[in-house]
Amino acid sequence: MRINIYYPFKDTAYGGGNQFLKALRDTWIKNNLYAKDPLDADVIIVNSHHFQNIKLIQHLKSRNNTVIIHRIDGPIQKVRGKDASVDHMIYFFNHNVADGTIFQSEWSKEENYLLGYEKNRFETVIPNAPDPDIFYPLHSTRCGGRVRIIATSWSGNLNKGFDIYKFLDNHLDFNQFQMTFAGNSPIEFQNIQNLKPLPSKELADILRQHDIYITASRNEPYSNSLIEALHCKLPAVYRIGSSHGTIVGNGGEGFRGKDDVLVTIENVTRNIEKYRSLIHLKTLEEVADAYYLFCRNIYENSQDSNYHPKRFSLSTLYRIIFDTSIQNAKRYVPFP
């Protein structure tokens, strides 16, 4: 059985989903489990709302009964604070086209349920993992001097925690700490060093030059920025809520807002090596195996006629084409 990830990959610094899916694809290529051409694949993985060529997916369904796996994050409206219609489009595709669903976290799954997602016959929760050849730890990050804190985000959405980062810019003791933000920021910092978005290898090098990672984002289905830092063995200071606590485990401490973020940073600072030793995450190979076994289960059920892959009607095709055209228009046309 061979798998194709049907996704518009970007080779530059982009979002967390792009980085994870590239790492997943490359792992399967190494193990000769990947079909570079979707026409040669037994299973297609479609990510979220990225239906870039829905007619091809419809063709694969009608010609080969190809199994379609849908990787869902979000809910989008929770992450962005808008775009409920994108979630509805995702749910429609999943209900009518996808044979199996992969969520990144239990939080994401439950939040999607609350907003109208209908349970699929085959579902699972599988976390993400970064490329271990890029995101790996040094033996120790501390070398004296000020404690080095870093936050990262490709997205400049305010929900990514910029209220807290602005607060730290004004209230963190910069005689004791230095702080870096790497990514796209909608605000200007006075004391925090702001780096532009970096390719993964450069970002990993920067992470390994720091001691503590902080994420203040809200409503995160599964933060790739956070797991990249944890794989570099940076203890985490994280905003409580969504999936952060599940990811970090005992490898850091959570805060609720401006009232307790400074004391939480102090607590982790006093115990950096202890928290480093308590970071435990799934490897990319383990994650890739979990994806493959889930896909294979559905594929083998379809081959044994225990499961018949969903049919793709013309009405479904036209509905998805219409919905995606509306979303594209919203992105590029300045409505009044």
Instruction: Identify the CATH number of the domain in which residue 218 sits.
Output: 3.40.50.2000
- Each residue's pLDDT tens digit, 78-105: 888 788 888 999 999 999 999 999 999 9
Q: Is residue 137 part of a domain?
A: no
* 139 within some domain: no
Q: Does 142 map to a domain?
A: no
At residue 253, the 3 state secondary structure works out as: strand
Q: List, for residues 45-56, the tens digit of each pLDDT value.
A: 999 988 778 888
Residues 317 and 250 placed together within one structural domain of the fold: no
Dist CA 128 CA 228 (whole Å): 10
Q: Are residues 198 and 249 in the same domain?
A: yes
Same domain, yes or no, for 85 and 124? yes
For residue 236, what are the domain limits?
147-277
CA torsion through residues 47, 50, 51, 53, sign: negative
- Same domain? 291 vs 264: no
Instruction: From 236, 244, 227, 242, select the one nearest 269 (Cα to Cα).
Output: 236
| CA atoms of 197 and 182, how far apart (whole Å) | 6
- Please check whether residue 138 lies inside any domain of the structure: no
- pLDDT at residue 161, rounded to an integer: 93
14 within a domain of the structure (yes/no): yes
- Is residue 287 within 8 Å of 126, Cβ to Cβ? yes
For residue 179, the tally of other CB atoms under 10 A from its CB is 24
- Please give the Cα distance from 293 to 288 (Å, whole number): 9
Instruction: Give residue 306's pLDDT.
Output: 92
Would the pLDDT of 150 be above 90? yes
Across 131-135, 153-157, 217-221, 277-281, least confident range:
153-157
* Residue 260 burial class via C-beta count within 10 angstroms: exposed 0-12, middle 13-18, buried 19 and up: middle
Same domain, 43 and 83: yes
Predicted model pTM = 0.90
Across 191-209, average pLDDT:
95
